Structure 1
Amino acid sequence: MSNVLILGAHGQIARLARTQLLQETDHHLTLFLRNAKRIQDANPQREQVVDGDATNVAQLTAAMQDIDVVYANLGNAHIEDQAQAVVTAMNQAGIKRLIWISTLGIYDEVPGAFGKWNHQMLDGGYLEHYAAAAKIIEASDLDYTIIRPAWLSNRDVVNYETTEKGEPFKGTEVSRKSIAAYVVKLINDPTQEVRHSVGVNQPHTDGSKPSFY
């Protein structure tokens, strides 16, 4: 059993990962989010809900006591501040293992027409902030895994393949359920993909843009 802290616990991927962790593991979960009253179904035997701000180092550090793995499902205009706060808090709490959700394109690794489309859709603040946040994580001494999903769908399927930093990104899309399953896999075996940045896509989805656009 591990003690897992989920930052941004009300996010769509985080909720899927939480459900899978409760159903398939005996891990204890600490659910950290703003407006914690949004979570009404916490299991008191296995879950603790913490209302907090992921840019607040003191709140993060307090939530990290006795935690084994931090899974950060964060994302907004403050992603750089969140990354720095998470790194600082983990160092203060003496925790090493971090699973960090990012996005495709932060290394300009998406080739061809899809790469051009991805820039058109995400340039102007989004990609730049996520790239800067990833640099903060990579500059730390944490045992991180950065996950770079393709464009996300709500399809009820778990089917994915991965690429490493330095390799061209594959495919155009992936289901949130697939990303959640990959997160759970890393939580269950935290020795995998340590200090790696991993692209995740559904096989055979190559094209100039995702099928739902």
Structure 2
Amino acid sequence: MKLAIFGASGGVGRHLVEQALQAGHEIKALLRSASALSIAHPRLHIVVGSFAQPDGVTEVVQGADAVISVLGVRKGDTSPVCTDGMRGIVQAMNAAGARRLIALSAYGASETRNASLFIRFVRRIIAAKMRDKDSMEALIRASALDWTLVRPAVLSNGEQHGHCRAGTSLRPGLAGRLARADLAAFLLREAVEGSFMGEAVVVAQ
């Protein structure tokens, strides 16, 4: 497959790029700097730019069989990175005729905001981040794209287990965890199989 990846230099993104290359896929990724990703491969094409440059975003999604967004904010950053980035991605996909979108969101976003007392507490602590995810999800749902929203349990840098649970009504609970490598594997599998088209799926170990 030809994959477009946004957020490739992040914790989940690096695993996603490595696993996609190992599986034989072709990748285009948007990076602010070519040095932001220390992976070189003939099937990996880096486009240097930002969401302020629509031509670069369109170049990344042009011809893609699936677009995967694993955008996220750095610690302490309260800017709406996911919403602003997704607005550019949706516009570029419409312009390029790309249809399939898989986007990393968060458990506790949108209709899961009141899933538990713990989630309500978390939303107060990281209110700006969760509002950003809410807005991103609303933007995606309003699009005419073939989308999947992925809401993982609390992420860790642990070793890949090679399996995870996934479902639209799954509740990860307070102890729910998921290795970033396993999340990357799920995102890649969803891009290939499309098992949760038009749904928001929760993923946990």
- With over 3 angstroms needed to count, the CA separation of the structure-2 counterparts of 1:108 and 1:117, relative to structure 1, is farther
Determine the structure 2 residue equivalent to 1:48.
45
Q: Would you say the 8 A contact 2:14–2:37 is kept in 1?
A: no
- With over 3 angstroms needed to count, the CA separation of the structure-2 counterparts of 1:151 and 1:30, relative to structure 1, is same
Distance 1:146 1:137 in 2: 9
Q: Would you say the 8 A contact 2:8–2:16 is kept in 1?
A: no
Determine the structure 1 residue equivalent to 2:102.
99
Determine the structure 1 residue equivalent to 2:139.
136
Residues 152-185 of structure 1: per-residue CA shift (max 9 Å, x gap): 1111133421231xx3632332211121110111
Determine the structure 1 residue equivalent to 2:157.
154
Determine the structure 1 residue equivalent to 2:76.
none
Partner AA of 1:121 in structure 2 = I
Q: Would you say the 8 A contact 1:55–1:81 is kept in 2?
A: no
Determine the structure 2 residue equivalent to 1:179.
183
- With over 3 angstroms needed to count, the CA separation of the structure-2 counterparts of 1:122 and 1:40, relative to structure 1, is closer
Residue 108 of structure 1, CA deviation: 4.7
The TM-score normalised by the length of structure 2 is 0.87
Q: Would you say the 8 A contact 1:55–1:82 is kept in 2?
A: no
Q: Would you say 1:12 and 2:11 are equivalent positions?
A: yes
Residues 57-114 of structure 1: per-residue CA shift (max 9 Å, x gap): 2221122222211111112322211111111110000000011111111125253342
Q: Would you say the 8 A contact 1:149–1:174 is kept in 2?
A: yes
Aligned equivalent of 2:201, options 198, 203, 209: 198
The TM-score normalised by the length of structure 1 is 0.84
Distance 1:41 1:80 in 2: 27
Q: Would you say 1:59 and 2:64 are equivalent positions?
A: no
Determine the structure 2 residue equivalent to 1:211.
none
Q: Would you say 1:170 and 2:169 are equivalent positions?
A: no
Distance 2:122 2:52 in 1: 28
Distance 1:168 1:27 in 2: 30
Distance 1:148 1:22 in 2: 24
Distance 1:152 1:131 in 2: 19
Q: Would you say the 8 A contact 2:108–2:115 is kept in 1?
A: no
Distance 2:101 2:186 in 1: 14
Partner AA of 1:69 in structure 2 = A
Determine the structure 2 residue equivalent to 1:82.
85
